[in-house]
A and B are shown apart, each in its own frame.
Chain A
């Protein structure tokens, strides 16, 4: 889409060292084998479901990462884009599913992405003059406005708190989920493997994440990416270089929102249901936490962040439900009740000990740990010596 802007510098790519290549191959295999094994193993199928949810959060956090990590704009209402994508996808999808059938999900990815992007632009135009705290407050308000509008069925489209789809309508699972579920099954030593819907979604989300990562990495090396870095480091200097600050910020908002929209529609179709309660302010906070905890501006960081913040609680809950760990009712409610406390503590500790995140981006780490100020006078004297070898300072 942004072919013109993503024209990257002609950097000579160094050959990938064999060790790194091997690591990538192992990672790729693990990404395929682990969920397949989990799916086959009796009683562990729910873990695939958790991976899907974590994956959607990775997608969501990758989008917010563009806004917060790259462009340096704190957005506390990011979940609104997720909601807009989900609702737009679901509305369009239900309208056309009769004709499109299994293709519906694949087609509605486009309106969902557009809905996200448009919402991003609508929010972006008026608020990008604001900075820091003020921007955070306005975006927070925006996120709540969107949720409340959906909840009150403002335009008669969202079906209020009950959510979509309405009444007896069904969501058509995307092709080829049903075909795979019916035809790909075989016995294994650990149990019967069936290519269930969860596994299907796992691969869909995985592909979306890979697509997002490729896009973001290209952006990072593009003119736009460099403009963002410049803007974050010094806005006045960036403007003096001819960077249109407002446009660059809008790009960040729009691209981030697009990713949120895609995550939203995926979430809606995975759940086969969507309602306003999935888009509360706390969800926005969690996405910010994922990005901050993982490491702003860092792709691996965001993935680890999503695994920790979204994956761990779901894992504990899943294990309890599956009966793998036995807990009393008191212990269960304690875990649920103290969840926020644990997150809060975790964030405070992180900010104090490792503000750059678990896996920081190289550049952001530098920003938070500036080099010590060096004694400048001595250096300036050297400077004088090298450029005025023939005269001494006393002569001037």
Chain B
């Protein structure tokens, strides 16, 4: 039985008066890819933002490696190794590719050799970024920006990498590359929490999945099982 990395106990998160998460519980084990799927507004990104500390849950708790991290600010959560790759490819458009990646390693001041190794790793994963390393982030294509955002997350040497909608707004071919990379990273031992609207793609690579609907977990199970689940097929995979 693998060790539990992240454990979420019944969190309720509000945007003002609106309850966006109505009691989400889930867990991520060491070495897993866990995906959260669901429609727009189901609470997937809210869950991720609550974990990363951008939002605080009103009730419930989040434990990372046995330590309660709910209520901590983003930079503290990040320092613990919970790294979020934000939705919408939030890169630094006026910094070069290399500078963007360097920002990802902002907290690793005492480990220049490790940072260099991470940089090499990212360039090995995404040779395209290496080619463009002196180019400004804003001049990259959508796919390259997603690569850059992911690479920047890797630069922080994550214990848990959380990807928020990495396929959003990308051409199908690029989505393939991104998902290939997620799988590769997982094979290299990185635990991944993946939020996706593209349920089919996400469930194919995920060990386990949670289906969210209006702030609740309505289904959970191994990715393969969810992929053949009738309800999931109807609602999220667009099959009749």
Chain A residues near B99 (CB-CB < 8 A) = 226
**Cβ-defined contact, A380 with B143, below 8 A:** yes
Chain A residues near B84 (CB-CB < 8 A) = 240
Chain A residues near B91 (CB-CB < 8 A) = 234, 237
Within 8 Å of chain A (Cβ to Cβ): is B219? no
**Cβ-defined contact, A244 with B75, below 8 A:** yes
Chain A residues near B54 (CB-CB < 8 A) = 236, 239
**Cβ-defined contact, B176 with A396, below 8 A:** yes
Interface segment out of the listed A42-50, A209-217, A257-265, A365-373: A365-373
Within 8 A of A (CB), among B39-98: 52, 54, 73-75, 78-79, 83-86, 90-95
- Known contacts being A230-B103, A237-B90, A380-B174, is A242 close to B75, with CB within 8 Å? yes
Residue in contact with B92 in the complex, picked from A237, A370, A393, CB distance below 8 Å: A237
Within 8 Å of chain A (Cβ to Cβ): is B17? no
Q: Which residue of A lies closest to B173 (CB)?
A: A384
**Cβ-defined contact, A380 with B109, below 8 A:** no
Within 8 A of B (CB), among A225-239: 226-227, 229-230, 233-234, 236-239
Q: How far is the CB of A383 from chain B (nearest CB, A)?
A: 5
Distance in angstroms between the alpha carbons of A371 and B74 in the assembled complex: 31
**Cβ-defined contact, B142 with A243, below 8 A:** no
Distance in angstroms between the alpha carbons of A383 and B174 in the assembled complex: 7
- Known contacts being A234-B91, A370-B138, A374-B139, is A380 close to B170, with CB within 8 Å? yes
**Cβ-defined contact, A240 with B141, below 8 A:** no
Residue in contact with A230 in the complex, picked from B75, B95, B149, B170, CB distance below 8 Å: B95
Within 8 A of A (CB), among B100-154: 102-104, 106-107, 109, 127-128, 136, 138-139, 141-144, 149, 152-153
Residue in contact with A374 in the complex, picked from B79, B141, B156, B174, CB distance below 8 Å: B141
Within 8 Å of chain B (Cβ to Cβ): is A1? no
Distance in angstroms between the alpha carbons of A234 and B100 in the assembled complex: 11
**Cβ-defined contact, B106 with A243, below 8 A:** yes
- Known contacts being A371-B138, A383-B143, is A233 close to B93, with CB within 8 Å? yes
Residue in contact with B156 in the complex, picked from A226, A229, A238, A241, CB distance below 8 Å: A241
- Known contacts being A240-B78, A363-B94, A386-B127, is A380 close to B106, with CB within 8 Å? no
Distance in angstroms between the alpha carbons of A381 and B144 in the assembled complex: 11
Q: Which residue of A lies closest to B52 (CB)?
A: A240
**Cβ-defined contact, A237 with B86, below 8 A:** yes
Within 8 Å of chain A (Cβ to Cβ): is B177? yes
- Known contacts being A230-B92, A383-B141, A384-B177, is A239 close to B74, with CB within 8 Å? yes
Q: How far is the CB of A205 from chain B (nearest CB, A)?
A: 33
Q: How far is the CB of A260 from chain B (nearest CB, A)?
A: 28
Within 8 Å of chain B (Cβ to Cβ): is A334? no
**Cβ-defined contact, A370 with B173, below 8 A:** no
Chain A residues near B79 (CB-CB < 8 A) = 242
Contact with B along A380-391 (1 / 0, CB 8 A): 110110111000
Q: How far is the CB of B192 from chain A (nearest CB, A)?
A: 16
Within 8 Å of chain B (Cβ to Cβ): is A376? yes
**Cβ-defined contact, B94 with A233, below 8 A:** yes
**Cβ-defined contact, B173 with A233, below 8 A:** no
**Cβ-defined contact, A226 with B103, below 8 A:** yes
Within 8 Å of chain A (Cβ to Cβ): is B2? no
Distance in angstroms between the alpha carbons of A384 and B54 in the assembled complex: 34
Q: Which residue of A lies closest to B93 (CB)?
A: A233
Residue in contact with A379 in the complex, picked from B73, B92, B94, B143, CB distance below 8 Å: B143
Q: Which residue of B lies closest to A234 (CB)?
A: B90
27 A-B contact pairs sorted by A residue (CB < 8 Å): A223-B109, A226-B103, A230-B95, A230-B103, A233-B94, A234-B93, A237-B86, A237-B103, A238-B92, A240-B74, A240-B153, A241-B78, A242-B107, A244-B75, A246-B73, A363-B94, A366-B136, A370-B138, A371-B138, A371-B139, A376-B141, A376-B142, A379-B142, A380-B143, A383-B141, A383-B174, A393-B173
